[in-house]
Structure 1
């Protein structure tokens, strides 16, 4: 089962439904938005999804998937949660490498805002590299889908795009390196928590294709994550409220070695075992992303 946000064939407004891979169908849920689902307690959300017998059915091949976030849902991210991430951030930093070393072992995790729902791109759409950065990479991450009550109700795939050359100059530039139009992709949907027996042992794979050839690939596992999921969620909710829930990306352990950088036209594919596969095409600058969002 995958909770999805989608456009039906010929439809002009987003719908929310459940995709059943066994029957290759998507069945509409009686809600107007994913944010409406994430306002529910986990028990109610589960009952709604499992007892959905009257919703309109669509062939999966006929629908267009949209990012599984909307309304007031926000995307946040955790940083320096894997040993490899710590090493990469230290390597790229010109002036303050020790801050990444310190936060890796600190009681308080690094958490930062990533994107409002309306800026997020989805599976099969585009991500962008900044024209004022010369080293840019995708960051493949498991995303925790959290409801308004701080319960982990599901999981998704997140591409936390990063401008390494900008953040490397000064850690205070992290918002510009991380938060920009085209810098966050989420999808293809939400795998319910009750269908993932152990989210702390999921394989993550990243492939970057250029001109039809494999330019970079890597694999890791969420078992290498230093921080606990409940720990990250608890810190996120300490001083915030999320009436329509949130997606919290849990950090990356797959970082291409310098001087690798993404290029216009690259194809990025992120697979999280048991959760889904998120694909994106890289574009340079924001114009293509603006056009995508205007025509969605």
Structure 2
């Protein structure tokens, strides 16, 4: 993937057109569509629902109200390639956090030239209690074992209009739906090109990058995610991501195996 993202979008399009798809995957396990030195970043408070949720949980409410309307978006590092999990693998919640949620997001696959070349589904797992205690704890609330999941396939940018895609979140517990909600990318406040421009403004991404664009679906503050829950994120025309929930870093030693 990092080699692919070193090319211009026109060349990537030609490479994809020349490729012969193999539909007989059999028992092959598809990996997350990110490798090498490619990083996953994320944007925050880009939907009104996200702003309201952050205000509700935080002891410093004005921080989130200001960033929603500010010229500069909130961007933060989410994961190196080797920490990313894919469909069917577990996602994690911190053992020291009481309030945890999935955040379903459309993620942009961006080449080294700042061109959006594709889209994937992202689950940006978050600890609401850690971030709510103090916004400076954002890295701990967002970056930990099992906190970033991406769908295995990339939908090429030239095949889809991302301006009004339905995003759905469903959480099941022991086979029963305990929470579900939906939004649309038309509800996002910031254009995708604006988010990528800030990501590349003062940093190079020679292996490309994946940028999650924020969430507009957040469970109510009294909802508690539990170990054993199953999270399903679906984005129209992009794909589906389904992950069971576990607690603690010991469940992710497979990511560090030689």
Question: Which interval holds the TM-score relative to the shorter structure?
Answer: over 0.9
Summarize deviations over 1:131-160 as a string: whole Å, max 9, x none: 000000000000000000000000000000
Structure 1, unmatched stretches of 5+, are 1-33
Partner-residue secondary structure (3-state), 1:262? coil
Q: After TM superposition, give the deviation of residue 244 of structure 1 in Å.
A: 1.0
Instruction: Please name the residue that 1:44 is paired with.
Output: 11
Partner-residue secondary structure (3-state), 1:100? helix
1:104 to 2:68 alignment: yes
Instruction: Please name the residue that 2:255 is paired with.
Output: 293
The CA distance in 2 between the partners of 1:129 and 1:285, in whole Å, is 7
Structure 2, unmatched stretches of 5+, are none
Pick from 43, 53, 57: which aligns with 1:78?
Answer: 43
More strand as a share of residues: 1
The CA distance in 2 between the partners of 1:202 and 1:68, in whole Å, is 21
The CA distance in 1 between the partners of 2:19 and 2:168, in whole Å, is 33
Instruction: Please name the residue that 2:32 is paired with.
Output: 67
Output the TM-score relative to the length of structure 1: 0.85
Answer yes or no: is the 8 Å Cα contact 1:188–1:277 preserved in 2: no
Instruction: Please name the residue that 2:173 is paired with.
Output: 210
Larger radius of gyration: 1
Instruction: Please name the residue that 1:254 is paired with.
Output: 217
Listed as ranges, the matches of 1:219-258 within 5 Å are 219-258=182-221
Q: After TM superposition, give the deviation of residue 188 of structure 1 in Å.
A: 2.3
Summarize deviations over 1:211-256 as a string: whole Å, max 9, x none: 1110100011000000000000000000111111100000001000
The CA distance in 1 between the partners of 2:103 and 2:26, in whole Å, is 28
The CA distance in 2 between the partners of 1:294 and 1:233, in whole Å, is 30
- Give the alignment's Cα RMSD to 1 decimal: 1.2
Answer yes or no: is the 8 Å Cα contact 1:75–1:116 preserved in 2: yes
Partner-residue secondary structure (3-state), 2:237? coil
Instruction: Please name the residue that 1:148 is paired with.
Output: 112
Q: State the aligned residue count.
A: 258
Partner-residue secondary structure (3-state), 2:221? coil
Q: After TM superposition, give the deviation of residue 127 of structure 1 in Å.
A: 0.5
Pick from 120, 130, 134: which aligns with 1:166?
Answer: 130
Instruction: Please name the residue that 1:88 is paired with.
Output: 53
